Structure 1
Amino acid sequence: MSFLRNNLSNKILFEATKNILTRNERFRDIHKGESCYIFGNGASIKYFDIEQFNDRITIGCGLLFLHKDFKKLNTKYYYTGHPFFYYPYWTNPYSKSFERNTLGSIYKSNIFEHRDIEYFVSLTNYLGLRGKNINYLYHYDKVFTIKEGSDLTGKYTFMDSALTGMLGIAVYMGFETITLVGCDYASTPKMSGHFYEYGKRKLNDKKFIYSEKPLLAINECVNLRTVTINDDFTGDIVNEIDYKTLMKQELNYSENNEIIDSSALIALDKTNMNYRIFSEK
């Protein structure tokens, strides 16, 4: 009975918000045949000179805009798929407590600072984040599909992770060659942590494929590869290319306090999200 009730509620919500979603039609095949970078937030970014990736459009996510060289990228699009994320209070996924949403405030301030970028957010945030460059995605109770699921004007099924969210957007826009940067779970062994966290963590050699169904489906219709820090890493499903081979330059590791402003690091440390921002963590 609850399934039927939820299904009916979702259908009503979808019909009521069609006009909002239809606005996304303007992105269909807008970059047909082009190439792009998809930037995650993985720790491998600490080894890269990201300015070298400015030769094509970037689709970003998460806290990428905190990187000191973010403005040197050609970032046109940005994905933040967290539901109910842009409100003053939220249920923290780590503490499980209902508290002031300090992390959402960090995102909001950076979104307002970079108004030249088109943002894609969950439809649940419609009342929390508005603007001409804010675009909404509907994602309720739908099983993943490659064709209908990548339709930004419909029931978007690419939202199980930031990586799949960005991939679905890229496919809808018509990109045919996609290079993953900082998407460290797309290869093995897997690098843990984020570029904005302190230190180096142990590699994870466990065999598991992240976002397997979307990667398998997308790998069939576009040229997809992931950038690794060296040739010790092998792509899961997708092809891999190491940074030195791609950019013809050596790796140069930078700690988080070298690539992110100290005030931003202090703010992240206060988000109660279990981030390892400073060495004592």
Structure 2
Amino acid sequence: MKLSQLADIHEGETIWVFGSGASIQFLDPAFFDDKVCIATNLITQHFPLREYYLFSHYHPAVKQSLNDPGMVVAVTHDLCSTRWPGTSSYGEGEWCFGRTPPAHVVINELTFREPMGSSFDPSRHNKDGELVFGSSSIHGSIHLAAHMGARNIVLVGADCGTIDNMHRVEGYPAGHTPWQLYDNHLIAMKKWLGQKYGTRVYSLNPFVNFNLEGHKFQGVHDAS
């Protein structure tokens, strides 16, 4: 399957894109049963979705979801990130999928072979026919949603901070926590997707309002 085959297949719809933030644990997976969902990395192993697309920088995350009947299509780069916990020498896409990937795996061919770090700018670092390679896999997930024709994208668990001192949903592998970097890049992606695709990007608050029902959030503007 080619990335081009996914273009506009959900044109005009709202697509829900999942990160791994702790706010997810305050949600009921059944809420998303009738929604178009894109999971990032390993989130469905900790928050089961009935049906979903998958995006990941990491081939191991895709490989672990290949036999999940709820996974419709997975998208990953032709380059496998080496930063997945417990890995040391993962190389190009061939090692994981063989010369021909499974029919429901799309290989995103990259021009820029490394994430851009603090210099990431989707308007400069994306090439037509590709999905962006940013500081987090969720950038590829939301770009995939726009590529699929989303009129609205709702981020779920893209917290860029902690809730009750939890960095991620319970049980999820520990990861990096450069919240300011991730926050800056999500804002950049929101602006760019609006300009390029006319897509609106929002975020789901699982609580009744920003008082968070007494839970404590610490993010980029809080002291470490």
TM superposition score category, shorter chain reference: 0.5 to 0.7
Pair 1:118 & 2:73 matched:
yes
Give the one of 55, 79, 84 matched to 2:55.
79
Compute the TM-score of the two structures, normalised by the length of structure 2.
0.67
Alpha-carbon offset, residue 183 of structure 1 = 1.1
The one-letter code sitting in structure 2 at the alignment partner of 1:194 is R
Pair 1:40 & 2:8 matched:
no
Pair 1:232 & 2:206 matched:
no
Identity among equivalent pairs (%)? 18
Alpha-carbon offset, residue 193 of structure 1 = 1.6
Pair 1:177 & 2:155 matched:
no
The one-letter code sitting in structure 2 at the alignment partner of 1:196 is E
Unmatched runs of 5 consecutive residues or more in structure 1: 1-19, 87-103, 199-203, 234-241, 243-249, 252-281
Match of residue 259 from structure 1: none
Residues 206 and 34 of structure 1: CA distance in aligned 2, closer, same or farther (over 3 Å): closer
Q: Matches of 2:20 and 2:31 in 1, distance apart?
A: 17
Residues 173 and 146 of structure 1: CA distance in aligned 2, closer, same or farther (over 3 Å): farther
Structure 2 SS opposite 1:132: coil
Task: Tell whether the 8 Å contact from 1:81 to 1:159 is kept in structure 2 after alignment.
Answer: no
Q: Which has the higher helix share?
A: 1
Unmatched runs of 5 consecutive residues or more in structure 2: 80-91, 114-119, 173-177, 215-224
Give the one of 104, 112, 137 matched to 1:141.
112
Q: Matches of 1:161 and 1:141 in 2, distance apart?
A: 15
Task: Tell whether the 8 Å contact from 1:190 to 1:205 is kept in structure 2 after alignment.
Answer: no
Matches within 5 A, 1:148-227: 149=126, 151=128, 153-154=129-130, 156-185=131-160, 191=163, 192-197=166-171, 209-211=183-185, 212-220=187-195, 221-227=198-204
Q: Matches of 2:122 and 2:49 in 1, distance apart?
A: 34
Pair 1:59 & 2:31 matched:
no
Match of residue 269 from structure 1: none
Task: Tell whether the 8 Å contact from 2:13 to 2:152 is kept in structure 1 after alignment.
Answer: yes
Structure 2 SS opposite 1:170: helix
Q: Matches of 1:117 and 1:57 in 2, distance apart?
A: 11
Alpha-carbon offset, residue 223 of structure 1 = 2.1
Give the one of 74, 93, 102 matched to 1:131.
102
Task: Tell whether the 8 Å contact from 1:34 to 1:174 is kept in structure 2 after alignment.
Answer: yes
CA RMSD of aligned residues (A): 3.4
Question: How many pairs are equivalent?
Answer: 181
Match of residue 201 from structure 1: none
Alpha-carbon offset, residue 145 of structure 1 = 3.8
Alpha-carbon offset, residue 172 of structure 1 = 1.0
